[in-house]
Amino acid sequence: MLFTLSLTHVAQAQVSAKPPPSPSYPLLVMGDSLSAEYGLPRGTGWVNLLSERLATIHPQWKVINASISGETTAGGRSRIEQLLKTHQPRLVVIELGGNDALRGLPLQSTQDNLLFMVQQAKRQGARVLLLGMKVPPNYGADYNEQFAKAFAQVAKQSQSRLLPFFLEPLSAPGDWFQSDRIHPNEKAQSLMLQHTWPVLEKLL
């Protein structure tokens, strides 16, 4: 009887001695087709490559990709609060704005929507990385300048980190785009991650 009780105590001690589960830090990505693997084989987009890299070197971070092809900043604004409530992310990456320009939406609305999303995320205690975009040259130099300034203003006003041009590496000579000449192809995805990673890693 005493031997049985001793074994029970040992088993209980072993259970109580188990280390607590490792913390899990959600990383939420809110983007458009550039982050939603538009036209790409499943699992080959830059967000999935990010998830794989984090699993190797920062396994406590878990990526939630809430990107939707065709999403505008207004769409992101309508979804941000519920996504924050559901996932409680520690870091939010916002890659939106390109579709606003393609649809000719007012720049002030784009800026206001981005600022709202950033402020909501920071209010919930998350750090924020804003991925800036540029528009094609045919939009004109003035519009291009004002569009880029919208991202810079949001980052400055909210004291958030900004990567000024998410697709900058694809400006180099090479075959980086799908047949529509708008969406990056599969081999461009690693360049997009490499460009984003140095800024993103500092926020982990």
Show which residues are catalytic: 33, 180, 183
Q: Cβ distance 137 to 171 under 8 Å?
A: no
Separation CA 110–CA 44 (nearest Å) = 29
Separation CA 192–CA 98 (nearest Å) = 16
DSSP state string for 126-141: -EEEEE-----GGG-H
Mapped onto helix, strand or coil, the DSSP state of residue 19 is: coil
Q: Provide the 10 A C-beta neighbour count for residue 142.
A: 8
Separation CA 166–CA 136 (nearest Å) = 14
Q: Which candidate, 67, 58, 66, places its Cα nearest to that of 25?
A: 58
Mapped onto helix, strand or coil, the DSSP state of residue 161 is: strand
Per-residue exposure over 2-35, b if at least 16 CB sit within 10 Å of its own CB, e if not: eeeeeeeeeeeeeeeeeeeeeeeebbbbbbbbbb
